[in-house]
Amino acid sequence: LHTAGIHKISFVAFDTPHPQSPVILKVFNPDKVIISNIEAGSVDEPAQFTVDATHAGHGDLEIAIKDPKDQTVPSKVMSQNGHANFKVSFVPQCAGSHGIHVTFNGEKVAGSPFMCTVMEEACDVVVLSSASSPAGEQRQQPLPATLTAARSLLAAVVSSSVPKLAPVRRPTTVQVSTDTQDLKLQATVTAPDGKVLDNCNVVNKELGLYVLEIVPTVVGEYQVELKTGGRQISGSPFSFRAYDPAKIIVSPMTDGAVNKAVHFVVDASDAGVGNLEVAVNEGNIPSMAQNLGHHRYDISFVPAEPIVHTVSIRFNGDHVPGRYIYLLVARFSAKFTNYPKAVYLYQDWIKLQLENPTGNMLPISVDNPGNGARQVSFTPLVVGVHRIAVKYANQHIHGSPFTAKAYDAAQVKLYGLDSCVVVGQPTNFVIDAGKAGAGNMEIVISVDGRNLPNHVQAEGNAKFRVSFTPQESKVHLISVRFNDEPVSGSPIKVNVLDASSCELAGAGLCNAVVGKTTHFTLDLNQKNAAECNVVITAPDKIAVPVKCFQQKNGQFRVEYTPTIVGEYEVEVTLNDRPLKGSPFKCNVFDPKQVRLVELDPVITGKETAFKVNSTDAGNAELNASIVDPDGQALKVEVLRAHNGQDELRFVTNKAGQHKLSITYGGQEVFDKAMVFFAEQADRVMSNVVDPNQGLIGEMARLVIEDCGHASKDDLKVKITGPKNGQSGVIKHMLYKRDEDSFEIAFTPKEVGLYTVEAMVNHKSLPGFPRTYTVVDPRKVRIVDGIGRAPFKVGHRHYIKVDTCAAGPGTLKADVRGPSGRMNVGVELNSKNEYSISFVPLEEGDHTVQLYWAGIRVPGCPLLTVAKRTGKTEIDSQKVKVYGEGLKHACTKVEAEFIIDGTKAGPGFPTCKMIGQRADVPISLNPVESYKWKATYVPYVSGKEGNE
């Protein structure tokens, strides 16, 4: 939120507003509070300033004024214009800098405390003197009434208040009012060295009113003598002291770190007399001063965080020229898994290494935010302790290696909550944070905004059982936060029944599982059980068999076994009158009907989607967990759809065996975890980086952004298949990502160009209609030129490639010999046939890598060998042929067998299949040198013969 004021937050689930939505949120910004018009004051004289909180939002404004002794000075606040604009006044009781501390809703206002300079009390000299402010402005006080001086002095009023200090090189004015209007004012100013200043200027403003302007040039005490007609006026001569902030010398700062004191020396011996003030980060960092004698002071402060520290120095309220910046390398801690973290480095020769819990080094990025600092960012991908080694000149700095504990609130699981919660009866649930990392768990159970006591019992391995006893028959909210982050599924709404008016309780009234016997209890309170009747009706309107047993406590246990999913009606009557709450609606689901229907190939570093069909499973909560080969839990995103076509999305960075567990309504879907394997990205087809290109049979996802606040019903999406295909309009899924974006998902079944249209209110959204290209690199086939015989060194060789079934794209080739990459030519011979040519320059193994539409062709690289010309024996009897494709095959399904000529000498096989109606073409693809895979697709059943 960037704007202060009243905001409304709306919560919508599956396009349905939350009952308590919208929520009112009052946002404030203390940085918008403006403090202005701070005027320097005098002892026992009112000082004022203005506070403007008009644009800061709603809240409480607190103002505290403290004198140099840290004593609070009473203040008076007066509202101006009635719009959070105030004038504040106070009467200082001592001289020195007064701090104005301002907070808004408990947050410190930027720049607080503000400093107000208060000067000493007025002298017994009748001189009005106004030394220039730091900005060079002069203030003029109204003249007091005329005083009558002694007989030897001329009666005149010069002032009622004179400051004892004045800055050098800036004018100080003295106003004189006298009743001897016919005599001219004469002024003599003597400098500390005894010389008379010649730059004094006396101006007759009006009849009887003079203004004397003095510009001190050196530090020290000045004497001012005023005369008219040769006679001194009352109070003359008077004195003041000049000071010079530029004469203050500041030593270089020592090196330091967080929680280590930084020292420097301020030498004011040549600056004159006055008050010295030192502020670190505008007074937000406490500092200490030790008197070293002869107006020299040792200043120290202790940094608390790794930020740029600014030291400003004032002398008698004037800034000392210069600003001193100190930079730090500091300890820090990581916070969330999958969120970038940052540390600060302030020298280019500092080295940083970051190791995750598995011992692998994490990549880092370095940015330059300015001020000579370096901001280092990294993203923890697994939960656990990360080690950060910081070295200077190849040596660990103090405290290195540092540790950062990464956690993931999404891995916290809630389960085991009772289906039916009754007033006055304890209920409990389980929180499992075993895979979430280290952190603090906050559990709040509330009703109508009031917190309810709860008891937490640790069960080991970061698993906790939480119990509470509801006292009211109202909706209760269970909120669970991990390290101040809401866990998955939180908050949970719980309906609490009133036990005093409800004779029935138990899970069998709320939720049940198909094929599992469920029950509820019935308390008739000594009434005739013969007059009680229980009827349970399945969704197909067929009555369900019921068993009833009387227990030792007099209550009855009612059991039944649901056989189909859906909403069951449980009707309980006594004397033909329904008990309170009857008929009850019991939701029955079947976790065994949850099916994994589509599994994307799992490639490291790439988002993978598993499609889950829960259409026939009924209504329940779907959860999933995946564990990688190192035993680390992966973050799994569960996307639910109204039609039961759900998705599980995740990203793994580890190749090898993974385990998937799925629960539905808290029930395990699989008897044991399903095992699948992830492949390294460089061992499979390269990832498709073009968002408008995909692979056949692989889920395509397109993001629609800038949809405003359109709902799923407002957004109309249409996907049309290739014009030469038979697909027509393509079935797709639509998911809502956030407030103004959606995601389209569909699975292309053929190669070609697909047209995607997206409209809101019959208007196409930006970037639509969009073309999506689908290719199949597996259909790229080698027709001729490789495997027939060894390549000859120094001769040009050609490889013919057929791409007619691979979809739209361009063929690229990469040929490498023993010494590296070779020059290769790729030419399009006809519409779908390419010719690859190259000249081997040395003997040895050669590899041919093929790419279609930027994606590596499966089966590549092709392996071959180059030899110099010579005679070699060829023995066809040593050729071996084997494989299932020699024995049997299915119509319209590709079959294969292997031809192995590795011991037969150089050559290339020819192969054909003679059918009953027509010959079947066979395609030969080299597997390695002198070894081929033969594939064919029969279209008619019957016996075929191979040659």
Tell me, letter by letter, the H, E, C secondary structure of 152-181.
CCECEEEEEECCCEEECCCCEEEEEEECCC
**Of 388, 404, 386, whose CA–CA distance to 396 is shortest?**
388
Backbone φ and ψ for 934, nearest 5 degrees, come out as: -100, 130
User: Are residues 224 and 249 located together in one domain of the fold?
Assistant: no
Residue 176 within any structural domain of the chain = yes
Q: DSSP letter at 655? A: -
DSSP 387-418: EEEEEETTEEPTTPSEEEEEB-GGG-EEE---
Distance from CA of residue 257 to its chain's centroid? 28
Residue 238 within any structural domain of the chain = yes
Quote the CA–CA distance of 678 and 610 in Å, as a whole number.
13
Residue 331 within any structural domain of the chain = no
Torsion of CA 903, 905, 907, 910, to 10 degrees: -40
User: Are residues 111 and 157 located together in one domain of the fold?
Assistant: no
Give the residue carrying structure tokens 């008219």: 228
What residue type is 843 in one-letter code?
Answer: E
Contact 774/688 with Cβ under 8 angstroms?
Answer: no
**Residue-number span of the structural domain to which 190 is assigned:** 127-243
Neighbours of 589 (CB within 10 A): 24
Contact 408/338 with Cβ under 8 angstroms?
Answer: yes
Residue-level pLDDT at 919 = 74
User: Are residues 138 and 205 located together in one domain of the fold?
Assistant: yes
Tokens read off for 273: 């007399």
Residue 741 within any structural domain of the chain = yes
User: Are residues 391 and 413 located together in one domain of the fold?
Assistant: no
Quote the CA–CA distance of 451 and 253 in Å, as a whole number.
52
| Exposure letters 760-772 (e unless 16+ CB within 10 A, then b) | eeeeebeebebeb
Q: DSSP letter at 198? A: S
Q: Among residues 589, 613, 638, which one ends one of the domains?
A: 589
User: Are residues 223 and 269 located together in one domain of the fold?
Assistant: no
Residue 7 within any structural domain of the chain = no
User: Are residues 91 and 188 located together in one domain of the fold?
Assistant: no
Contact 590/596 with Cβ under 8 angstroms?
Answer: no
Per-residue HEC secondary structure of 836-901 comes to EEECCCCCEEEEEEEEECCEECCCCCEEEEEECCCCCCCCHHHCEEECHHHCCCCCCCCEEEEEEC
Quote the CA–CA distance of 784 and 266 in Å, as a whole number.
87
Helix, strand, coil % in the chain, rounded to nearest 5: 5, 50, 50
User: Are residues 399 and 430 located together in one domain of the fold?
Assistant: no
**Could you give the angle at the alpha carbon of 324 between the alpha carbons of 321 and 327, nearest 5°?**
170
Contact 478/494 with Cβ under 8 angstroms?
Answer: yes
Give the residue carrying structure tokens 């840290």: 70
User: Are residues 788 and 835 located together in one domain of the fold?
Assistant: yes
Residue-level pLDDT at 293 = 81
Residue-level pLDDT at 561 = 93
User: Are residues 903 and 853 located together in one domain of the fold?
Assistant: no
Per-residue HEC secondary structure of 336-368 comes to ECCCCEEEEECCCCEEEEEECCCCCECCCEEEE
Give the residue carrying structure tokens 């501390």: 101
Contact 697/749 with Cβ under 8 angstroms?
Answer: yes
* Mean pLDDT rounded to a whole number for the chain: 78
Distance from CA of residue 220 to its chain's centroid? 60
**Of 12, 136, 4, whose CA–CA distance to 57 is shortest?**
4
User: CATH number, domain at 749?
Assistant: 2.60.40.10
Residue-level pLDDT at 528 = 58
Radius of gyration of the chain (CA): 44
Distance from CA of residue 737 to its chain's centroid? 16
Q: What residues does 99 pair with on adjacent strands?
A: 66, 115
User: Are residues 137 and 234 located together in one domain of the fold?
Assistant: yes
Give the residue carrying structure tokens 């656990």: 384
Residue 14 within any structural domain of the chain = no
**Could you give the angle at the alpha carbon of 509 between the alpha carbons of 505 and 515, nearest 5°?**
125
Q: Among residues 210, 243, 276, which one ends one of the domains?
A: 243
Which stretches of the chain drop beneath a pLDDT of 50? 121-155, 157, 159-161, 323, 325-348, 683-689, 725
Backbone φ and ψ for 509, nearest 5 degrees, come out as: -95, -10
Residue 12 within any structural domain of the chain = no
**Of 230, 194, 225, whose CA–CA distance to 212 is shortest?**
225
**Could you give the angle at the alpha carbon of 801 between the alpha carbons of 799 and 806, nearest 5°?**
160
User: Are residues 300 and 365 located together in one domain of the fold?
Assistant: no
Report the length, in residues, of the chain.
947
Residue 711 within any structural domain of the chain = yes
User: Are residues 225 and 252 located together in one domain of the fold?
Assistant: no
Quote the CA–CA distance of 126 and 130 in Å, as a whole number.
13
Whole-angstrom CA distances from 258 to 163, 309, 354, 394, 401 are 42, 11, 20, 21, 15
Q: Among residues 119, 138, 159, which one ends one of the domains?
A: 119
Residue-level pLDDT at 906 = 62
Give the count of domains, the chain.
10
